[in-house]
Structure 1
Protein backbone atom coordinates (compact mmCIF):
# COMPACT_ATOMS: atom_id res chain seq x y z
CA UNK A 1 0.00 0.00 0.00
CA UNK A 2 1.22 3.50 -0.78
CA UNK A 3 2.08 5.82 2.11
CA UNK A 4 -0.60 8.24 3.25
CA UNK A 5 0.24 11.70 1.91
CA UNK A 6 0.46 14.70 4.19
CA UNK A 7 -2.28 17.08 3.22
CA UNK A 8 -2.32 20.79 4.05
CA UNK A 9 -6.09 20.41 4.49
CA UNK A 10 -5.85 18.12 7.52
CA UNK A 11 -5.91 19.31 11.09
CA UNK A 12 -3.08 18.30 13.41
CA UNK A 13 -5.26 15.80 15.25
CA UNK A 14 -4.71 12.17 16.27
CA UNK A 15 -7.43 9.87 14.89
CA UNK A 16 -6.80 7.42 17.76
CA UNK A 17 -8.12 10.02 20.22
CA UNK A 18 -11.65 9.35 18.92
CA UNK A 19 -11.71 5.62 19.64
CA UNK A 20 -14.09 4.89 22.52
CA UNK A 21 -16.12 8.09 22.13
CA UNK A 22 -19.85 8.06 21.41
CA UNK A 23 -20.55 8.56 17.70
CA UNK A 24 -22.22 11.96 18.04
CA UNK A 25 -19.54 13.30 20.41
CA UNK A 26 -16.79 12.08 18.08
CA UNK A 27 -18.41 13.68 15.03
CA UNK A 28 -18.88 17.00 16.84
CA UNK A 29 -15.31 16.97 18.14
CA UNK A 30 -13.90 16.16 14.70
CA UNK A 31 -15.74 19.07 13.08
CA UNK A 32 -14.67 21.40 15.89
CA UNK A 33 -11.05 20.36 15.29
CA UNK A 34 -11.30 21.30 11.61
CA UNK A 35 -12.07 18.07 9.74
CA UNK A 36 -14.07 19.08 6.66
CA UNK A 37 -15.67 15.67 6.13
CA UNK A 38 -16.57 13.19 8.87
CA UNK A 39 -17.77 9.75 7.78
CA UNK A 40 -19.26 7.17 10.17
CA UNK A 41 -19.43 3.59 8.94
CA UNK A 42 -20.77 0.31 10.19
CA UNK A 43 -18.23 -2.47 10.84
CA UNK A 44 -17.34 -4.21 7.59
CA UNK A 45 -18.94 -1.52 5.41
CA UNK A 46 -17.79 -1.63 1.81
CA UNK A 47 -16.09 1.65 0.90
CA UNK A 48 -13.85 2.97 -1.82
CA UNK A 49 -10.22 3.45 -0.87
CA UNK A 50 -9.57 6.84 -2.46
CA UNK A 51 -7.78 9.25 -0.16
CA UNK A 52 -9.63 12.49 0.53
CA UNK A 53 -7.62 15.09 2.44
CA UNK A 54 -9.54 16.57 5.36
CA UNK A 55 -11.76 13.51 5.84
CA UNK A 56 -11.89 11.54 9.09
CA UNK A 57 -13.50 8.09 9.04
CA UNK A 58 -15.08 6.33 11.99
CA UNK A 59 -16.09 2.72 12.31
CA UNK A 60 -19.02 2.73 14.73
CA UNK A 61 -20.43 -0.23 16.60
CA UNK A 62 -23.20 0.00 19.21
CA UNK A 63 -23.01 3.80 19.12
CA UNK A 64 -19.26 4.02 19.89
CA UNK A 65 -16.24 4.61 17.69
CA UNK A 66 -14.16 1.43 17.47
CA UNK A 67 -11.71 2.60 14.79
CA UNK A 68 -10.72 5.94 13.29
CA UNK A 69 -8.53 6.83 10.30
CA UNK A 70 -7.72 9.70 7.95
CA UNK A 71 -8.77 9.95 4.34
Structure 2
Protein backbone atom coordinates (compact mmCIF):
# COMPACT_ATOMS: atom_id res chain seq x y z
CA UNK A 1 0.00 0.00 0.00
CA UNK A 2 1.37 3.40 -0.93
CA UNK A 3 1.87 6.00 1.80
CA UNK A 4 -0.56 8.87 2.08
CA UNK A 5 0.80 12.03 0.46
CA UNK A 6 1.54 14.82 2.90
CA UNK A 7 1.37 18.48 1.99
CA UNK A 8 4.63 20.40 2.03
CA UNK A 9 3.48 22.54 4.93
CA UNK A 10 0.48 23.14 7.18
CA UNK A 11 -1.86 26.01 6.43
CA UNK A 12 -0.64 29.33 7.76
CA UNK A 13 -3.77 29.86 9.74
CA UNK A 14 -4.38 30.79 13.37
CA UNK A 15 -6.63 28.24 15.10
CA UNK A 16 -7.73 30.93 17.59
CA UNK A 17 -9.48 32.71 14.70
CA UNK A 18 -12.07 29.89 14.66
CA UNK A 19 -13.23 30.43 18.24
CA UNK A 20 -16.75 31.84 18.30
CA UNK A 21 -17.67 30.78 14.76
CA UNK A 22 -20.60 28.50 14.04
CA UNK A 23 -19.31 24.96 13.53
CA UNK A 24 -20.37 24.72 9.87
CA UNK A 25 -18.82 28.09 9.06
CA UNK A 26 -15.58 27.00 10.77
CA UNK A 27 -15.48 23.75 8.78
CA UNK A 28 -15.96 25.61 5.49
CA UNK A 29 -13.26 28.14 6.39
CA UNK A 30 -10.83 25.37 7.36
CA UNK A 31 -11.35 23.58 4.04
CA UNK A 32 -10.87 26.85 2.12
CA UNK A 33 -7.64 27.53 4.00
CA UNK A 34 -6.16 24.13 3.24
CA UNK A 35 -6.70 21.97 6.34
CA UNK A 36 -6.81 18.37 5.15
CA UNK A 37 -8.87 17.15 8.14
CA UNK A 38 -11.22 18.90 10.55
CA UNK A 39 -12.20 17.04 13.71
CA UNK A 40 -15.27 18.34 15.59
CA UNK A 41 -15.37 17.31 19.24
CA UNK A 42 -17.75 17.87 22.13
CA UNK A 43 -16.30 19.45 25.30
CA UNK A 44 -14.44 16.94 27.43
CA UNK A 45 -14.23 14.32 24.68
CA UNK A 46 -11.66 11.59 25.16
CA UNK A 47 -9.39 11.74 22.12
CA UNK A 48 -6.14 10.29 20.87
CA UNK A 49 -3.28 12.72 21.24
CA UNK A 50 -1.13 11.77 18.25
CA UNK A 51 -0.23 14.75 16.12
CA UNK A 52 -1.74 14.65 12.64
CA UNK A 53 -0.15 16.99 10.14
CA UNK A 54 -2.81 19.18 8.51
CA UNK A 55 -5.56 18.43 11.04
CA UNK A 56 -7.56 21.14 12.80
CA UNK A 57 -9.43 20.16 15.97
CA UNK A 58 -12.55 22.08 16.90
CA UNK A 59 -14.21 21.77 20.29
CA UNK A 60 -17.87 22.56 19.59
CA UNK A 61 -20.56 23.36 22.13
CA UNK A 62 -24.09 24.54 21.28
CA UNK A 63 -23.10 24.75 17.60
CA UNK A 64 -20.17 27.14 18.18
CA UNK A 65 -16.43 26.61 18.32
CA UNK A 66 -15.22 27.03 21.90
CA UNK A 67 -11.58 26.00 21.28
CA UNK A 68 -9.41 25.14 18.26
CA UNK A 69 -5.93 23.64 17.93
CA UNK A 70 -3.65 21.99 15.38
CA UNK A 71 -2.92 18.30 15.19
TM (norm. structure 1) is: 0.88
Q: Which runs of 5+ in 1 are unaligned?
A: 1-6
Runs of 4+ in 1 over 3 A off after TM superposition: none
Which structure has the bigger radius of gyration? 2
Please give the root-mean-square deviation of Cα atoms over the aligned residues, in Å.
1.2
Q: Which runs of 5+ in 2 are unaligned?
A: 1-6
1:15-63 deviations in Å (ceiling 9; x for gaps):
0000000000000000000000000000000000000000000000000
For these two proteins, the number of residue pairs brought into alignment is: 65
**Aligned residue for 1:51?**
51
**Aligned residue for 2:69?**
69
